[in-house]
Amino acid sequence: MSDLSIELTAPNGRKYTQPTGLFINNEWVKSSDGKKITSINPTDETDIAEVYAASVDDVDTAVAAARKAFKDPSWRDISPTDRGNMMMVLSDLVAKHADTLATIETWDNGKPYADSLGDVGEVVGVLKYYGGYADKIHGQVIDTGPAKFAYTIREPVGVCGQIIPWNYPLAMAAWKLGPALACGNTIVMKAAEQTPLSILYLANLITEAGFPPGVVNILNGVGRVAGAAIATHVNIDKVAFTGSTATGKEIMKMAAGTMKNITLETGGKSPLLVFDDADLEQAVKWSHIGIMSNQGQICTATSRILVQESIYDKFVEAFKKQVAELSVVGDPFAETTFQGPQVTKVQYERVLGYVKAGKEEGATLISGGEAFTKGSSSGKGFFITPTIFTGVKPSMKIFREEVFGPFVVIASFKTEEEALELANDTTYGLGSAVFTKDITRAHRVAKRIEAGMVWINSSNDSDYRIPFGGVKQSGIGRELGEAGLAGYTQIKAVHVNMTSD
Catalytically active residues, by annotation: 265
Whether residue 296 has pLDDT greater than 70? yes
Confidence of residue 377 (pLDDT cuts 50, 70, 90): confident
pLDDT at 273 over 60: yes
pLDDT over 90 at 392, yes or no: yes
**Does 234 share its domain with 302?**
no
* SS3 state at 5: strand
Flag whether 2 is in a domain. no
Q: What are the residues whose beta carbons fall under 8 Å from the beta carbon of 317, sequence distance 6 or more?
A: none
Does 500 reside within a domain? no
Together in a domain, 244 and 284 = no
Q: What is the DSSP string of 356-417?
A: HHHHHTT-EEEE--SB---SSTTS-S--B--EEEES--TTSHHHHS---SSEEEEEEESSHH
Counting every residue, how long is the chain?
501
Residue 359: which residues within 8 A CB-CB, separation 6 or more?
365
Q: Are residues 362 and 421 in the same domain?
A: yes
DSSP codes joined into one string, 155-176: EE--EEEEE--SSSHHHHHHHH
- Global pTM reads 0.97
Are 49 and 39 a contacting pair, CB within 8 Å? Answer: yes
| DSSP-based three-state secondary structure for 27 | strand
CATH code for position 383: 3.40.309.10
In this structure, the answer to whether residues 346 and 257 fall within a common structural domain is no
Q: How far apart are CA 85 and CA 216, in angstroms?
A: 16
- Secondary structure (3-state) at 28: strand
Q: Work out the number of other CB atoms within 10 angstroms of the CB of residue 151.
A: 14
Angle at 154 between CA 148 and CA 158, to 5 degrees: 135
Residue 1 scores a pLDDT above 70:
no
Residue 379 has what pLDDT? 86
The three-class DSSP label of residue 55 is coil
Q: Which amino acid is at 174?
A: A
Residue 285 forms part of a structural domain:
yes
Determine the distance from the C-alpha atom of residue 236 to the mean position of all C-alpha atoms in its chain, rounded to a whole number: 21
Assess whether 194 and 63 both reside in one domain.
yes
One-letter identity of residue 111: K
**Residue 499 covered by a domain:** no
Domain that holds residue 167: 7-266+476-491
Is 481 found in the same domain as 442? no
**How far is it, in rounded angstroms, from Cα 439 to Cα 149?**
48
Q: How far apart are CA 389 and CA 380, in angstroms?
A: 26
- pLDDT level of residue 354 (50, 70, 90 thresholds): very high
Spatial CA neighbour of 468 closest among 260, 263, 252, 231: 263
**CA nearest neighbour of 153 among 501, 465, 484, 496:** 496
- Burial class from Cβ neighbours inside 10 Å (0-12, 13-18, 19+) for residue 466 reads middle
In this structure, are 75 and 177 located in the same domain?
Answer: yes
Q: Is residue 501 part of a domain?
A: no
Residues 446-465: tens digit of each pLDDT = 999 999 999 999 999 999 99
| 198 and 221 both lie in a single domain | yes
Q: What is the pLDDT at residue 63?
A: 98
Distance CA 344, CA 65 (A): 33
Q: Is the pLDDT of residue 279 over 80?
A: yes
* Domain of residue 196, CATH code: 3.40.605.10
For residue 102, tell me if it sits in a domain. Answer: yes
Buried b (16+ CB within 10 A) or exposed e, 113-148: bebbbebbebbbbbbbbbbebbeebeeeeeeeeeee
Q: Can you tell me whether residue 437 is helix, strand or coil?
A: coil
SS3 content of the chain, % helix, strand, coil (to 5): 40, 20, 35
Q: Is residue 425 domain-shared with residue 307, that is, in the same domain?
A: yes
Neighbours of 491 (CB within 10 A): 11
Instruction: Look at residue 468 and tell me if it is in a domain.
Output: no
Contact 163, 252 (CB under 8 A): no
Span 149-205, pLDDT tens digits: 999 999 999 999 999 999 999 999 999 999 999 999 999 999 999 999 999 999 999
484: DSSP letter: G
107-116 pLDDT, tens digit per residue, is 999 999 999 9
Per-residue pLDDT reduced to its tens digit, 4-41: 999 999 999 999 999 999 999 999 999 999 999 999 99
Q: Tell me: do 245 and 387 sit in the same domain.
A: no
Whether 318 and 208 share a structural domain: no
In a domain, 498, yes or no: no
Does position 86 have pLDDT exceeding 90, yes or no?
Answer: yes
N-to-C CA span, the chain: 64
Q: What is the largest CA-CA distance in the chain?
A: 84
> Could you report the per-residue pLDDT of 44-77, keeping only the tens digit for each?
999 999 999 999 999 999 999 999 999 999 999 9
Residues 81, 135: Cα–Cα separation, whole Å? 5
Q: Which amino acid is at 456?
A: I
Residues 151 and 199 in one domain: yes
Please tell me the total count of domains within the chain. 2
